[in-house]
């Protein structure tokens, strides 16, 4: 490719090869090729900002209401207590429904800006959080944004937050496979190094088929985007009654639940978490769940064994 001529609109711009200054340029055909790969300049900024973040987990599910935010919080709380020498961060990219500030008990906190960027809110000695919930005047404020504005906010969170050194950054995502997901994957995936395994996905579902239908789409999204799937967690699998002691299936797994789906789609099954009213109460209050004696916390311990290799 010849050197860029004077008045060149830029080889990475939308006008490349199409502007009046491009007429007669020997590079015009190359620049106007619709198949040429454009590199978002924000990707380099994100890579620089996250250079000291060892692992990134996307918490995904095609279905809303299956408990992605709760699972994100539970994993962070439990892992941070088990691995006190490691540092953890949560990035809440559910722009229209940020719930991590409430779940982690830091509602009302403020984000401060320094010369190195926004400082995430400290939750514990080794846990920090960034969420758009900290930037709202009221937790009841509605965020009515189209895709490009959401994507711009995600880019800011990834490139302008001073995360410092983290062993694990968990990203709480909204339901689906649309703008936010494509944006965060494009910024975090290392297209130049296929050996880079720092970006992985955890899929969350409930046992009933109506949830599994959408979760299958999420699994296919990860496969198409070449994101390794650590495994699937089945949330709210059973309910243990504190009065009679019996177990009930609130969401019957008529097609075999998450375990059967994982066998069918050849992805790891990490385990299931029972529905626990006491744990749900602690989540609403933003309290630490790790001291609770329950089947759910025991099951969480088993699931967290799968992540030891990342530390």
Same domain assignment for residues 87 and 12: no
- For 164, the 3-state DSSP assignment is coil
Determine how many CB atoms are found less than 10 A away from the CB of residue 248: 11
Band of residue 253 on the pLDDT scale cut at 50, 70, 90: confident
Q: Is residue 134 domain-shared with residue 195, that is, in the same domain? A: yes
**Nearest residue to 188 via CA among 54, 309, 12:** 54
Mean pLDDT of 99-108: 93
Q: Is 128 labeled as ligand-binding?
A: no
Structure confidence at residue 37 (pLDDT): 55
Place 14 in a pLDDT band, splitting at 50, 70 and 90.
low
Question: Is residue 97 annotated as involved in ligand binding?
Answer: no
Looking at the structure, do residues 228 and 117 belong to the same domain, yes or no? yes
The answer to whether the annotation marks 133 as part of a ligand binding site is no
Q: Is 62 annotated as belonging to a binding site?
A: yes
pLDDT score of 103: 94
Residue 241 assigned to a binding site: yes
273 shares a domain with 167: yes
d(CA 57, CA 203): 10
CA–CA distance, 281 with 273 (Å, rounded to integer): 16
Q: Indicate if 174 and 253 belong to the same structural domain.
A: yes
Q: Helices 147-160 and 41-49 meet at what angle, rounded to 10? A: 40
Provide the strand spans (E) within the chain: 56-60, 88-92, 112-114, 117-119, 121-124, 127-131, 168-172, 199-205, 229-240, 247-248, 269-275
- Are 131 and 267 found together in one domain? yes
Query: What is the pLDDT at residue 2?
Result: 44
Is 0.75 surpassed by the pTM of this model?
A: yes
pLDDT band at 35; cut points 50, 70, 90:
low
Average pLDDT (118-134) is: 94
> Tokens for 296?
């759910």
Residue 269 has pLDDT above 90, yes or no: yes
Parent domain of 14: 1-38
> Do residues 188 and 55 make contact, with C-beta atoms less than 8 angstroms apart?
no
114 labelled as ligand-binding?
A: no
Tokens of 108: 């009302």
CB atoms within 10 A of CB 118: 18
> Within a 10 A sphere around the Cβ of 179, how many other Cβ atoms?
18
The annotation status of 152 as a binding-site residue, yes or no, is: no
Task: Check residues 81 and 195 and name the one with the higher pLDDT.
Answer: 81
For residue 9, the model assigns a pLDDT of 63
Provide CB contacts within 8 A for 225, sequence distance 6+: 185, 189
Closest by Cα among 299, 305, 214 to 258? 214
Paired residues of 113 in beta bridges: 118
Residues 77 and 194 in one domain: yes
304 assigned to a ligand binding site: no
Residue 213's CATH number: 3.40.50.300
Residues 303 and 263 sit within 8 Å (Cβ to Cβ):
no
Supply the DSSP string of 47-69, one letter for each residue. Answer: HHHTTTB--EEEEE-SSTTS-HH
- Does the annotation list 65 as a binding residue? yes
What percent of the chain lies above the pLDDT cut of 90?
57
What does the pLDDT look like over 181-234, one tens digit per residue?
A: 999 999 999 888 777 889 999 999 999 999 999 999 999 999 999 999 999 999
Residue 31 labeled ligand binder: yes
Say whether both 10 and 106 belong to one domain. Answer: no
Residues 158 and 12 in one domain: no
Q: Which of 89-93, 124-128, 257-261, 274-278 has the lowest mean pLDDT?
A: 274-278
Q: Tell me the pLDDT tens digit for each residue of 15-24.
A: 677 777 777 7
Give the rounded percent of residues in the chain with a pLDDT score beyond 70.
Answer: 90
Residues 34 and 155 in one domain: no
Residues 9 and 47 in one domain: no
69 marked as binding residue: yes
Mean pLDDT for the chain overall: 88
Q: Is residue 22 located within the same domain as residue 131?
A: no
pLDDT, mean of residues 154-182: 93
256 annotated to a ligand binding site: no
What confidence score (pLDDT) does residue 38 get? 56
Q: pLDDT of 276-308, one tens digit each?
A: 888 888 988 888 888 888 888 899 999 999 998
């Amino acid at each position: 490719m010849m050197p860029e001529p004077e008045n060149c609109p830029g080889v990475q711009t939308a006008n490349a090869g199409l502007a009046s200054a491009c007429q007669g340029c020997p590079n015009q055909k190359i620049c106007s090729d619709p198949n040429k790969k454009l590199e978002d300049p924000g990707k380099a900024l994100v890579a620089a900002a996250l250079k000291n973040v060892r692992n990134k987990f996307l918490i995904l599910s095609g279905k809303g209401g299956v408990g992605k935010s709760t699972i994100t919080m539970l994993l962070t709380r439990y892992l941070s207590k088990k691995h006190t020498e490691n540092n953890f961060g949560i990035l809440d990219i559910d722009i229209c429904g940020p719930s991590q500030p409430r779940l982690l008990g830091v509602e009302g906190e403020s984000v401060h800006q320094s010369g190195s960027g926004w400082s995430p809110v400290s939750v514990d000695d080794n846990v920090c959080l960034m969420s758009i919930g900290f930037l709202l005047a009221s937790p009841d404020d509605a965020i009515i944004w189209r895709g490009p504005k959401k994507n711009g906010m995600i880019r800011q969170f990834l490139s302008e937050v001073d995360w410092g050194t983290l062993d694990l950054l968990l990203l709480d995502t909204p339901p689906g496979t649309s703008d936010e997901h494509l944006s965060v994957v494009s910024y975090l995936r290392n297209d130049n190094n296929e050996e880079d395994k720092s970006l992985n996905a955890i899929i969350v579902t409930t046992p009933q088929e109506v949830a599994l239908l959408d979760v299958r789409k999420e699994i296919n999204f990860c496969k198409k985007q070449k994101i390794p799937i650590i495994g699937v967690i089945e949330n709210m699998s059973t309910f243990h009654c504190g009065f009679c002691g019996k177990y009930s299936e609130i969401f019957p797994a008529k097609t075999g639940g998450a375990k059967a789906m994982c066998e069918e789609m050849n992805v790891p099954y990490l385990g299931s978490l029972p529905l626990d009213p006491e744990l749900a109460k602690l989540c609403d209050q933003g309290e630490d769940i790790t001291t609770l004696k329950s089947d759910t916390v025991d099951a969480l311990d088993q699931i967290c064994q799968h992540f030891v290799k990342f530390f």
